[in-house]
Amino acid sequence: DQQVKQNSPSLSVQEGRISILNCDYTNSMFDYFLWYKKYPAEGPTFLISISSIKDKNEDGRFTVFLNKSAKHLSLHIVPSQPGDSAVYFCAASWGGNNRLAFGKGNQVVVIP
């Protein structure tokens, strides 16, 4: 049973607009959440993370929001750029270790 869920597998957005990616989880023991970005034929690369004790973390154009009561997190990219076109994976870990559970990913296409 998948513990990290990403619905709406694909998203198209105009350059300059905001991209919002959503992620839901079922395991209440998760205490660390991450977003990874993946281009075709490459490995995933780390984008941004958030600890369960926080509700927001911002890094440049990327902001992650965590709503623990709803077991939901989201990634906001603003403004979106053509180079942001990729697959984005939500991931989570628990128990203070680095063993990640991944969602299925969201394909983002940024239209110039």
Partner 1 sequence: NAGVTQTPKFQVLKTGQSMTLQCAQDMNHNSMYWYRQDPGMGLRLIYYSASEGTTDKGEVPNGYNVSRLNKREFSLRLESAAPSQTSVYFCASSESPGAGNTIYFGEGSWLTVV
Please give the DSSP secondary-structure letter assigned to residue 84: G
Strands 56-59 and 62-67: antiparallel
- 3-class SS of residue 41: coil
> Which of 28, 19, 20, 34 is CA-nearest to residue 103?
34
Q: What is the distance between the alpha carbons of residues 40 and 28, in angstroms, rounded to a whole number?
A: 32
- Report, in Å, the least distance between residue 35 CB and partner 1: 12
Whichever of 5 and 76 has its CB closer to partner 1, that residue is: 5
CB of 32 to partner 1, least distance (A): 4
* Closer Cβ to partner 1, 42 or 83, answer by number: 42
Please identify, using beta-carbon distances, which residue of 44 and 63 lies nearer to partner 1: 44
Least CB distance from residue 77 to partner 1, whole Å? 19
78 alpha carbon, distance to own chain's centre: 14
Of 69 and 98, nearer to partner 1 (C-beta) is 98
Binding site for partner 1 (CB under 8 A): 2, 4, 6, 31-32, 41-46, 49, 51, 89, 91, 93, 95-105
